[in-house]
Structure 1
Amino acid sequence: MAKAAANTKSPKARAQVPHTLGFGVPATSDPHHFKVVIPKASTGKVSISEHLGLQSASNDNAVIDRVLLDRPRWTAIRAEVQRAFNARLAARGLKPSAWKVGENPVDRLLGKELCVLAWAVEQMDMEKIPVAVRNWLALRPEERWWLFGMTAMSTGGLMDAGRGWRVALKHALGDVVQSELLAPRARRSNGVKDDIRLSLDLFGEGES
C-alpha cells in the first residue's frame, strides 16, 4: 500500500502539469500557435497556418497561411516530425500527440520548426526528402527558429514558394550532405543570438 501511494501523484503535483492541446499548445484563451489541417481525402493537400491569437494587431492578420504540402511530401516527413516533437514534449513532462485527420494544434515554436522543413520540401524531389529530414533533425531548435524568422520576413506566405529563402532552405537541407551542414556550428554571432530570443513557452524562456 505504501508503495502504491508513493507512485500516485498528489493533486498538487497533477495540478502543476500544464494542460495542453495537440502538440504542446497551452490550453489558454487564444494562444499564439500553429495549425496543421489534414484533409480526409488521401490526395488533399496539408495546410500549415500560423494563428497569432492575442498577439495579432487586428482580425485581418490574425491568421497567416504559411504553406501547402502535397500529400506525398507530408507523408514523407510526418512520422519523423511527430517523433521529434513528442520527444521534446516528453522532456517537459507534457503529453504526446499524433497527427490526425482534421485540425492539429502545434505549439508556436514547434510550428516554426515544422514550417522550415515544410518550406524546404514543398518543391523538392521526393528522393531528396529523407536527406532533408535528417538535416532538419540535426539542427538545434534555435537554428530552426532563426531560419524561420529569416524566411518569414520576406517569403513566408502561401504564394512565396520557389522564392528567396524558400529556395535557400530547399538547397541547404536537400542538397548539402549532413556533415557539411553541421560543420559551421560556431557561425552564430552574438547579434544573431539576440535576434532569436523568442518566447519559448513550454520550451524555454524569453520574449518574442
Structure 2
Amino acid sequence: MAEVTPTKQRKASTQPTLGFGVPATSDPHHFKVTIPKGNGGKVQISEYLGLQAQSDEFAVIDRVLLARPRWTKIRSEVQRTFNARLKAHSVKPSSWKVGDNMVDRLLGKELCVLAWAVEDMDMDKTPVAVRNWLALRPEERWWLFGMTAMNTGGMKDGEKGWRLALRHALGDVAQSDLLKPRSRKIVANKYQDPRLPMLDLFGG
C-alpha cells in the first residue's frame, strides 16, 4: 500500500465547501454575492445568517448594492486574496461567476468593508482603497465590519456614520494620520506591496 504523504492527508481531511470556503452543511452562515448578466446591473452582497437567525424575517440581511464598474475594479484583487487564504487552509479556491456566489462568513465581512468603502467613492480612488484594504489584517477588517454593521450595515446606509468613515479612511490619501506605518512587521505576499502602510485603526 502506498504511503500517504502529509499533503494527501490534508486533502483527505478537508471538508467539502461551496464557493469561497462555505461549508457544505445544512444552512451555514455565509454571504452571497449576486452578479447579474448585464453590465448595467448592480452586484448585490447579502448576509445569510443560517441557523443563527432569530427568525425567518431576519435570516437575510442585504448589505450593499455595488455598481458593476465598481465591482469590476475590485473583483480580481479580492478573488486572488481570498483564494490565497483558502489555499493556505487546504480549501479549494473559487472564482466569480454570473449568478450567485457563496462566500465564507468571515471573508464576506471583509468583502463588505471594501464594498462599503468604494460604493460611492470617486472611481479614481478605488485602486487606493483596494491597496489600503489589502494592508489591513483580517481581524482588522472583521472589527471594521462589526462596528459598521451595528448601525449602518444596510443597503441604504451609505451616506452616514461608519460608512462615510470607511470611504475616507480607505480612499482618501490625504488621511496621513491613518496611513502612518505601524511599528509591527508587515508580512508581505505576492498580492501585497510590502512598502504599503497599515491603517492605524487600532492602538498598540
8 Å Cα contact 1:38-1:101 kept in structure 2: yes
User: Do structure 1's residue 162 and structure 2's residue 159 form an aligned pair?
Assistant: yes
TM-score if structure 2 supplies the norm length?
0.84
Distance 1:93 1:117 in 2: 25
After TM superposition, give the deviation of residue 181 of structure 1 in Å: 2.1
Distance 1:168 1:188 in 2: 15
Unaligned runs of 5+ in 2: 184-199
| 1:124 equivalent in structure 2 | 121
8 Å Cα contact 2:169-2:175 kept in structure 1: no
* Cα 1:48–1:187 shift into 2, 3 Å: closer
8 Å Cα contact 1:39-1:102 kept in structure 2: yes
| 1:188 equivalent in structure 2 | 202
Q: Which has the higher helix share?
A: 1
8 Å Cα contact 1:138-1:182 kept in structure 2: no
Distance 1:178 1:79 in 2: 26
5 Å-filtered alignment, 1:29-178, equals: 29-176=26-173
Tell me how large the CA RMSD over aligned residues is: 2.3
Distance 2:88 2:180 in 1: 24
Deviations 1:144-171 (A, max 9, x none): 0000000000100011011110000000
Deviations 1:104-132 (A, max 9, x none): 00000000000000000000000000000
* Cα 1:44–1:16 shift into 2, 3 Å: same
TM-score if structure 1 supplies the norm length?
0.83
Letter of the 1:57 counterpart: Q
| Count of residues in correspondence between the two structures | 187
5 Å-filtered alignment, 1:15-26, equals: 15-26=12-23
Unaligned runs of 5+ in 1: 191-208
| 2:194 equivalent in structure 1 | none
After TM superposition, give the deviation of residue 18 of structure 1 in Å: 1.4
* Cα 1:57–1:182 shift into 2, 3 Å: farther
Distance 1:38 1:177 in 2: 33
8 Å Cα contact 2:11-2:90 kept in structure 1: no
8 Å Cα contact 1:131-1:173 kept in structure 2: yes
